[in-house]
Amino acid sequence: MKVVLAGAFGHGRHHLGNLRRLANQGLIELAGICDVRPVEVDFGSPLQSSNLGALIEKTGAEITIICTPIHTHADLAVAALRAGSHLLLEKPPAASPAEHRRIAAAVAETGLACQVGFQSLGSAAVPALRELIADGVIGRVRGIGGAGAWERPSAYFTRSAWSGKRRLDGVDVVDGALTNPFAHAVATALALADGPIAGIETELYHAHPIESDDTSCLRIRMGDGLVITIAVSLCAPERNEPYLVVHGDAGRATLVYTQDQVKVEHADGSVTTTVYDRTDLLENLVGHLRTGADLLVPLSATETFTQVLDAVRLAPEPLPIPERHQLVERDDAGEVTHRFLPGIAGLTVRSADELALYSELDAPWARVELCVAGQDVAAYEWQPDLPVTDSPRPYLHRVRTLGGVEVTQVRPEDHVHHLGAGVAISDLGGANFWGGRTYVKDQGPTWLGDHGTQRHRAFSRLDDDGFVEELEWAGPGGRLLAREERTVVARPFGEAWALDFTFTLTNLTGAPVEINSSATKGRAGAGYGGFFWRAPGTSVSRATLPGDEQAVHGSRGPWVAMSGTDPDGRDWTLVFVQDAGDAWFVRVEEYPGVGQALAWDRPLLVEDTLTRRIVTIVADGRLDHASASALAAEVKF
C-alpha cells in the first residue's frame, strides 16, 4: 500500500522510522515525501515535492500521513482527501472546531478514512480500563486526574516558527503543553470518560518567554457529572512519566499511558499491575482499508478533544511566571538553556490526587502579587469567581502597609459588591459595572439585570513591582463596550509605599458613550464611579483629611487622605493623589471608602478614550494634615 509522508522533520522522523519498519515487512511502500526542504531517506526511492495534492496524484498514494504544523492540518487534510488519499492525521487534528468540521466534511464528502494520531488510544490498556470501570471493579467513579511533568530546554520553544505560539501571522496555532506534548493525557481521559462535555476551566501559565503555555491545568466537567483534571508542565528538572488515575469509591486505577500499564489498587489493599499491547495506528489504518477492521481513532472520536483545545484557544493569554519562582540555568555565554519550576512534579501529582487546579493548590506562581523591596504588599485577583450581580471584575486585595496592616476589604456585608481596590463605574453606556442595584430616577435603587463584567485578557507585563493588563468591558449579553489598558506599579515611597494605578478606557461602541452615576440620575452626592478603594469596615477611629467627610466629599483638590485603626490597635493612613481634577467620592462614617467621581453631577461623554491616574500612598501610622500634604506634594505626574 503506497504511502506519502507530509512533514518529515521533527516528529516526522518518528514516522520515517515506522515507515521503514513497515516497508521491511512488505506492508507499505513509501511513495513520496512532501516537505519544503529536501529529505534524506535511506530506504525506498520516494518522490519529493512541496505540493501535496500533486504528489498524491503522481504517486497514486492510498494513504497520506500529515505531520506538519498544527495550523496547516486542515488545508493539507482536505487537499489529501480530495486527491483520493486516506489519512493518518497527527494530533491535534485541527486548531479549532471550525477547522475540525472542515476536515470532517471532506471525510464525509469523499468517503475516505481519517485516523488521528493519538498513539495512546492504540493501546489495549484503554478498552481494558473502560471495561474495568464499567464492571465496577473500583466502585463508583468520582473523577479522573492526570499528571505530566517533562523537561524541555529553551531551544525546544525556538525549534520552529510556530513552536510556543498561540497564533502565527493571525492564524490560530494553539501549540501549548495541554494541546500538543500532553494532548494524549487529555484525549485518553476523554476516551475513558466518554459522553458530552458540560464545562471546561483552564489555567495557563508560562515560565519561558513564549506566547503559549508551558505549564497548565484544566478541569473538564462531563455531562454525567464526572470531573477530569489534567495538570502538566514542561519545566520539570527531569522526565516524569505522565499518567491518569481513575478515582473510585472502592479503589483506584492508574494508567501510565506511555507504558501501556494499568495498576489497580483495590479497597482490600491488594494491587494488580498489567501491561497491555499496543497497535500501531498506521497498521490499524492499513488493516481497516484491507479487511474492514474498525479504526482505533477515527476523526469523529476526537471532537471532544477539539472542544478542549478550543477552550484553551479562547482562554485569556497565559500568565507569565515571574523569574523569582524559577530555577534558571545558563550556558557559558549567559544564554538561558533551561527554566525549571521547583516542586512542579509534586504539584501535578497533587492535582491528579485531589482533582484540583494549580490555583486551588496555592502554587505561588498561580498568584499575582505586588512586592516592594522584597516584601509582598498586595495581591491581585485577575479571574474572580463572583456572582453576576457583583459586576465581576479584577481587583487588588489584601493590600498591606509595610508594617503588615491590611487596608482593603472584599465583599463586606454592608456592600458585597465592594471589591478591594480597582475600577468600578455605576453606568457605562447603560451597563452597571459597579455591582448591586442600579439607581433609577424617581424609583430609587432597583435590580435591573444590567450588570457588566470586566474580563482579563492578557498581561503584557508582569513583574514583582506591577503589571500592564488588557481587559474587556462587556455589558449584559456579552456586548463589548470598552477595552481597558491597566497599569499598576508598586514602589517605595519614603517610609511608606505607593500604588500607582492608571487606566485607559477605549470606547468600542462606534458612537460616543456616556458615563453616568446615581447622582446624574437624581441621587444627590452619589457621584461614585472610577477608581475606588474600599478600606476595612473593621477599622475604628476613622478620619479624613484635609477636612471631615462633609468637607472632602465632592471636593476637587489634588489629594484626600483617610486614616483608621485596625482591630489590633495599629494605625494606617491612605493618601490619594490625582491630577485630573475629578471630584472625590468619600465615605467614612457609613463605611470607609475613597474613589473618583467621574460623573459627579453631570454625565461624562467618552468619544474615544478616557485615561485616569491615581497614586495612593500606603503608610503605617496616623498622618496629620501637614504630613499628608507633604507626601502628596512628592507625587509627580
Q: pLDDT for 108-124, tens place per residue? A: 999 999 999 999 999 99
Position 636, amino acid: K
Residue ranges of domains in the chain: 2-112, 122-275+300-360, 367-633
pLDDT, position 91: 96
pLDDT, position 206: 96
Q: What is the pTM of this model?
A: 0.84
In which residue are the cell numbers 489534567 written? 230
Extended strands (E) in 341-420: 368-372, 375-381, 395-397
**C-alpha dist (Å) from residue 632 to 397, 406, 540, 579, 615:** 23, 21, 24, 11, 9
pLDDT, position 194: 83
Do you know the residue count of the chain? 637
Residues in the chain predicted with pLDDT less than 70, given as ranges, are none
Same topology, domains 122-275+300-360 and 367-633? Answer is: no
pLDDT, position 327: 96
Extended strands (E) in 404-475: 421-428, 431-433, 438-440, 444-446, 453-463, 466-474
The superfamily in CATH containing domain 122-275+300-360 is: Dihydrodipicolinate Reductase; domain 2 (3.30.360.10)
Tell me the CATH number for domain 367-633. Answer: 2.70.98
Cβ count within 10 A of residue 249: 12
**In whole angstroms, what is the distance from residue 245 CA to residue 234 CA?**
20
pLDDT, position 287: 96
**In whole angstroms, what is the distance from residue 498 CA to residue 504 CA?**
20
Q: Please enumerate in sequence order all residues whose Cβ is within 8 A of that of 286, keeping only pairs 6 or more positions apart, or say none.
A: 1, 22, 27, 28, 63
The CATH number corresponding to 2-112 among 3.30.420.340, 3.40.50.2300, 3.40.50.720, 3.30.70.1290 equals: 3.40.50.720
Tell me the sheet residues that pair with 363: none
